[in-house]
Structure 1
Amino acid sequence: MATDPGVGRRAKYLTMLLLVVGSGLVLLAATQTWFTIRLSDTANHSSTIEVAGSVAAPALTALALAGLALTAALAIAGPVFRIVLALLGVLLGVSVLISAITAVSDAVRASASAITTATGVAGNASIRHLVHSVETQLWPWLAMVAGALIILAAAAAVVFSRLWPGPSRKYQTRFAGEDGRPAEEVVAEASEEGAVPADAAADETADDTPDGTSTLDRDTAIDSWDELTRGDDPTR
């Protein structure tokens, strides 16, 4: 049964949108404050330290950029590579979830580098002794939601990518057939079946012949460039 091309096109665009939104939310969350650390009164340093997501979960920025790049690649990929890229998208979303969950599960350890920078105190036990309380902001939870969104969008790409329309013709230079055959074979087969007149088929292949019009057009273009180089106007 034939599938409505509009359905596949809408599924593709919706998947692309979800991947972009998910990756964008991860990138946004990584730039915001995740934890507010309050130090004990015995510390002779700043009593409050704000820890950004890029410090608590350093991998998030790279994962978000990878998600955006993967979305662009999916938009032009063929049927086989769509599946491969979509599976990579699932792994990417899982990595976002793991990074965010790991940071939230032990905020002190995730904030250790920021605390050491602010106080000069190092060592897990010493840092934990300094920390009086930890306040978790909204942003790590948003990163988890974004990671789940990336996973769902990538999984949808795996399931429904067979319905997606093929890549645009502008990405194909020498191949006209969807099965990858050269343009000459497609035109020849069509002319044999009567779908394309023989003289039209000849016109399609004439451009590739040494004495075709395309050769003359290239020679004319080269001459025009030479005239411009000499300072002459080729339009006169």
Structure 2
Amino acid sequence: MIRRARLLAVVLIVACGAIGVISSTQTWLTVVLDDGAERGLAVPGASAIPVLAPLSLAVLALGGALSIVGLVLRYVFGALTAVIGALLAWLTAQVAFSHPTTAVAATVTEATGITGEAAVAALVASITATAWPVVTLVAWIVLLAAGVFAVVTAARWKAGDRRYRTDETATTAHAAGSRPPDAIDSWDDLSRGDDPTDRPLD
């Protein structure tokens, strides 16, 4: 389990970020206006929670970064992921269970031109939620757990990138040593303060 901890954490974080991005374009709430026509307006996730899309993109970036960073940044990014997960879970839970007027205010204002919290609230007849807020809330709870998991297991992640860099460096050095020096090697020697003309002849 620990040997695959990095992969598990990264996959969960990226998946949750992707759900957040997709959810931001879907209808979260339907608001019916008490304006005589009783028309319904669809409220997407990005309107219900303005920070949903940018924070979801940030989660995707954190997931990708966790796959390559060193130990210290694993702790930092893991903790940041958990904080974002907790914040988004709190905001999403409010929309999912309370249906606040503030979540539909931007959509109502765009459709009617009416501004002000009291004026918008007076115009709203009812607000109903789709399944998307609950689905997204589950994703944020998983994201919070994934961030905590990343912090707890970060010290035991396999540092595959370091081994690759070491092998690559050794291969390059071996290749350089197995061929005669050329003009580029001579310039490199000069930049280090060595005089290539002082080399002993083979």
TM bucket, shorter chain: 0.7 to 0.9
| Structure-2 residue corresponding to 1:96 | 88
Query: Partners in 1 of 2:48 and 2:157 — Cα distance?
Result: 38
Pair 1:115–1:204, CA change in 2 (3 A)? closer
Query: Partners in 1 of 2:7 and 2:28 — Cα distance?
Result: 32
Q: Aligned ranges for residues 73-222 of structure 1 at < 5 Å?
A: 73-104=65-96, 105-169=98-162, 172=165, 176=166, 204=173, 207=176, 213=179, 215-216=181-182, 218=184
Match of 2:23 among 17, 23, 29: 29
Pair 1:160–1:214, CA change in 2 (3 A)? farther
Offset, 1:24: 1.2
Q: Which amino acid aligns with 1:116?
A: T
Aligned residue for 2:87, secondary structure, equals helix
Q: Percent identity?
A: 31
| Structure-2 residue corresponding to 1:12 | 6
Q: TM-score, normalised by structure 2?
A: 0.79
Larger Rg: 1
Offset, 1:8: 3.3
Offset, 1:67: 0.7
Pair 1:132–1:218, CA change in 2 (3 A)? same
Question: Does the 8 Å contact 1:87/1:158 carry over to 2?
Answer: yes
Offset, 1:217: 7.7
Pair 1:125–1:16, CA change in 2 (3 A)? same
Offset, 1:134: 0.9
Pair 1:169–1:162, CA change in 2 (3 A)? closer
Structure with larger RCO (C-alpha < 8 A, sep 6+): 2
Q: Does 1:53 align with 2:19?
A: no
Q: Which runs of 5+ in 2 are unaligned?
A: 186-202
Q: Which amino acid aligns with 1:64?
A: S
Query: Partners in 1 of 2:16 and 2:103 — Cα distance?
Result: 23
Give the length in aligned residue pairs: 182
Offset, 1:167: 3.9
Q: Which amino acid aligns with 2:119?
A: S
Q: TM-score, normalised by structure 1?
A: 0.68
Q: Which runs of 5+ in 1 are unaligned?
A: 1-6, 178-182, 188-202, 220-236
